[in-house]
Amino acid sequence: MEADWPMIVVLALATALTVYIGRLWFKRWFNPLSTYSALWGFCLGTYELKLIQYYPVSTSAWLYILAAWMSLYFGALTALIILGHSRIPARCTDEKSVKLIRQAIIALSVIGALAVARQMQILTREFGGVITAVLASGNEIYLGKLTGELAFFPYIGSVLYAGCALSGVYTARIGKLTLVSSVPIVLIAFNNALSMIRAGVIMAAFLFLAGFLLTPGARQLTIKRWQATLGAGVAVSVLLGGFFLVSSTRGLAVDFPGITPAMDQISSYVPFFPSVYSNVSATPVALSLYLSAPVEDKNGVWGQYTFAPLLRVLAKTGLVRERERYEEEYYTPVPTNTSTYLKDLDSDFGFVGILGFPYFLGMAMTLLILGLERVPKLTYVILLSNLYLLILSSFAVNLMVLGDWYMSTFVGVVVGAIIDRRTVFLSPPKAWQRKLGVS
């Protein structure tokens, strides 16, 4: 099966256009619309490369993808029409808020480190040692973590994700990379290696990046080129090292059905590449298979994916029935249990969810961005960073299915609200304070 180059060109042009529209509307490249478009354009393009002989994506699946894509843009446009841009040219820094952010990062890192230590203790007890467990029992650890059989501190380690977003803000505010700001990311990488989970390191890095880029009036990084190169090299090594360690020890170098000679050649050098490739290219095929299933197999309990962590808590009280922790598996022909966030939305809310969720997500994120332009608040930055995670994961799953996302968002917003209450995150010059009515 050859790559569909005409379709790849169409996708590339559509992606470039929609990315640029996002740039025009938000007056910056890093925005929810451009991020969403670039991500989905890339993933759909990898599918069209046909390195694996997937089943074709149905017309209805393409229509669902297009409808959600357009709804996100309409939601953002609604917010822009209602509020509009209002940029304040300069802002003053409140050093007290910087100090409190630093203290919050340290506190969250200590809590996260305790969860990591507990994880190490359990692995030593169950498998005879941490190194032995990671190198020889990767799949058992992953399945035990997924099913809850290896009972680490539930969700406590997720506070590190909140620490990553705060670290990005802290770095933007002081204008340099520090040991304090790097600790949450390093702990996340180590924590994920112990849990055999790959996505966490990507989430951590993205939260840091989002916190950094969203902080208004960020100082220019005051580091020398060699320091920047060294720091970037260490960061990339830690993140990719954790990612590749998990990939290689979880037994992901499998002989997938439908692999082409080109993929065979690549996998001879990188054995787990088929798994990585299928993670970003198989999800629209799985969505297509889901949509072709009988109606009774598609729709479950209202909100069972979107509010899964909350329903699991309620299940402990006996108020609701506990749902399976596993996602449904689809054979594309590669087995995959991720089928884009659209599958979860359709299963939870029907086609109304396909249109409504992206629309309100686009509107909410745009309102927060416009709010940051008027009265900057740390709470806005943290909430936005976590909403960006929903954009980042949308090609695979609705991240709200994970309790980690709820914990990261809740803890981050609470910390942000406390700091906003006690200090001024960023204050405009006095002339603009009088104009805006801010004291």
Per-residue model confidence as pLDDT tens digits over 152-172? 556 788 899 999 999 999 998
Confidence of residue 278 (pLDDT cuts 50, 70, 90): confident
Average pLDDT over residues 124-151: 60
Query: Where is average pLDDT lowest: 69-83, 203-217, 377-391?
Result: 203-217
Query: Where is average pLDDT lowest: 76-80, 82-86, 169-173, 369-373?
Result: 82-86
pLDDT given for residue 85 in this prediction? 77
Query: Where is average pLDDT lowest: 36-50, 173-187, 287-301?
Result: 287-301
Report whether pLDDT(137) > 50. yes
Report whether pLDDT(216) > 90. no
Confidence of residue 38 (pLDDT cuts 50, 70, 90): very high
CA–CA gap between residue 420 and residue 390 (Å, rounded): 24
CA–CA gap between residue 152 and residue 150 (Å, rounded): 6
User: How far out from the chain centre does Cα 21 lie?
Assistant: 23
Report whether pLDDT(69) > 90. yes
Query: Where is average pLDDT lowest: 16-30, 125-139, 189-203?
Result: 125-139
Report whether pLDDT(232) > 70. no
Average pLDDT over residues 261-283: 81
pLDDT given for residue 15 in this prediction? 97
pLDDT given for residue 93 in this prediction? 61
Residue 273: other Cβ atoms inside 10 A:
17
Report whether pLDDT(14) > 70. yes
Query: Where is average pLDDT lowest: 29-33, 101-105, 169-173?
Result: 169-173
Give the residue from 4, 6, 3 showing the smallest Cα distance to 262: 3
Residue 330: other Cβ atoms inside 10 A:
23
pLDDT given for residue 189 in this prediction? 83
Residue 6: other Cβ atoms inside 10 A:
9
Q: Please report, for the chain, the start and end positions of each structural domain, with discontinuous segments joined by +.
A: 92-253+377-436
Cis peptide before 271, with omega less than 30 degrees from 0? Answer: no
Number of helices (H), then strands (E), in the chain: 20, 4
Average pLDDT over residues 406-418: 94
Pair of tokens at residue 90: 């300069």
pLDDT given for residue 432 in this prediction? 44
